[in-house]
Amino acid sequence: MYLAHTAQNLIAGLIAAALLATPVASYEIQERRIYPAQNETSVLRVISTADLDVFDPILAAFQADNPGVSVDYTVTETADLMQALYEEGASFDLAISSAMDLQTKLANDGFARTYTSPATEALPDWARWRDQIFAFTQEPAVVIVSDAFFEGQQPPDSRDALIALLRESPERFRGRIGTYDVRRSGFGYMMATQDSRNSESYWRLMEVMGRLDAQLYCCSGEMIRDVASGHLALAYNVLGSYAQSRLATTDGFRIVQFGDYVNVMLRTALIPQTAENIDDAQAMVDFLTRLGTRPDLVALSELPAIAPDSFQANTALRPIRFDPGLLVFLDQLKREAFLRNWEDSLLQD
């Protein structure tokens, strides 16, 4: 599944459980593939939340550049990746994840290695942290709207406009709005928490959506499917890069980027302390951070590379900042409090 979003199906509190409780079960592996080298000199063991079909072209290109390296690619969910490294001390040479908060937690708590190279130094400041976390994609959270529903009508261009529209004609939208179930999705939780920081209108929007019996989803793919089919009028906080790639094969929906602000998630790589093949891991970090210089790979993988210019062109785009603040919503009490608020707003029976 693209971008491992189904992989982000999290049971409420799973992160907390992974972090603060002693897990009995081992982390779950979704998929694993080994890319053997012709004349193998070393093996690079990658744990990642990105699905194989997304990363396949990147791994193939990396192997073309480094012919002696076999790649052992393991796909897990974000929470499982965290559990493997944080709790179980599993040994991997590289950890690739879309969960910025969990990557930050790994680096903050001393589970990542420091690495600098010309390629990493070329990254903008907001795209790396402590020289341990390196971003290589920028993926906005967008709104997708149904073409059929908004035929001849301009879709809302901000959260306030959306709130106004929902209040104006509640009956049209009842049961036809979709968003992430933040209790189950790591990406949804991160976007929701960032929203709650960025704007007061977030909670009002949740209130309104709750009143209109919003549908909750585990993943972007299903939201896109339901919007495209006209089952939903719109879906809020869909992963933009995914929607963009679906647009090529699916009709019936449009992507709307709000003008007030658009949270941009950064997909990152880090070299765990438990890494054994550090040289190849560093080569892979260099390769990923230079993704922008390989338009062919960007097209194949449909992963939007880091492009600082895009933030100048659209000032509403806001990359989520790496800083210790990302640890706040991982705090168990904080998470409980947030989910309680969220449920109070969204689940009004």
Partner 1 sequence: MVAAILSVAFFVIVRSVAEQAAESTQDDILSASATAIADSLRSEGSNVMLDLPYSALSMLGTLSEDRVFYRVFTGDGTLTGYDDLPLPDRTPHRGQPAFATFDYRGDPVRAVSVVRPVGTGTSARDIIVTVAQTRLGLEQTSRTITTTAMGVGAGFFLVATGLSLWAASAALAPIERLTGAVARRGPHDLRPVTADTPAELMPLVNALNSFMARLRASLLRNEDFIAEAAHRVRTPLATVRAQAEITHRKLNKPEHRRAMREMIRAIDESARSAGQMLDHAMVKFRTDTLAGDTLDMRALIGEVCDRLGATADLKDIQIVRDLPDEPIPARGDGILLQAALQNLLDNAIKYSPEDSRIVVRVEQCFDLKVSIQDEGRGFGDADLTRLKTRYTRGTNVGDIVGSGLGLTIADEVTRAHGGRLEIVTNQTGVGACISLILPRI
Positions in the binding site for partner 1 (CB under 8 A):
107-110, 129-131, 197, 321-325, 327-329, 331-334, 337
162, two tokens: 């959306």
In the complex, minimum distance from the CB of residue 333 to partner 1, in angstroms, rounded to a whole number:
5
Is the Cβ of residue 222 or residue 331 nearer to partner 1 in the bound state? 331
Q: Residue 8 is encoded by which pair of tokens?
A: 């982000």
Cβ of residue 325: shortest distance to partner 1, in angstroms? 3
Q: How many angstroms separate the CA atoms of 51 and 3, rounded?
A: 5
Two tokens, residue 304: 């939007």
Instruction: Annotate 123-166 with DSSP letters as a single string.
Output: S-GGGEETTTEEEEEEEEEEEEEETTTTTTSPPP-SHHHHHHHH
Nearer to partner 1, 108 or 146 (CB): 108
Q: Which is nearer to partner 1, 115 or 129 (CB)?
A: 129
Q: Which tokens sit at 167?
A: 């209040």
CA distance 89 to 236: 36
- 225 vs 335 by CB, closer to partner 1: 335
Q: Cβ neighbours of residue 151 under 8 Å, at least 6 residues apart?
A: none
DSSP 113: -
Closest CB 132 distance from partner 1, rounded Å: 9
Q: Which one, 136 or 322, has the nearer CB to partner 1?
A: 322
The CA distances from residue 10 to 17, 219, 275, in Å, are 11, 11, 27
| Cβ closest to partner 1, residue 64 vs residue 333 | 333
What is the CA 347 to chain-centroid distance, rounded? 24
Position of tokens 């910025």? 100
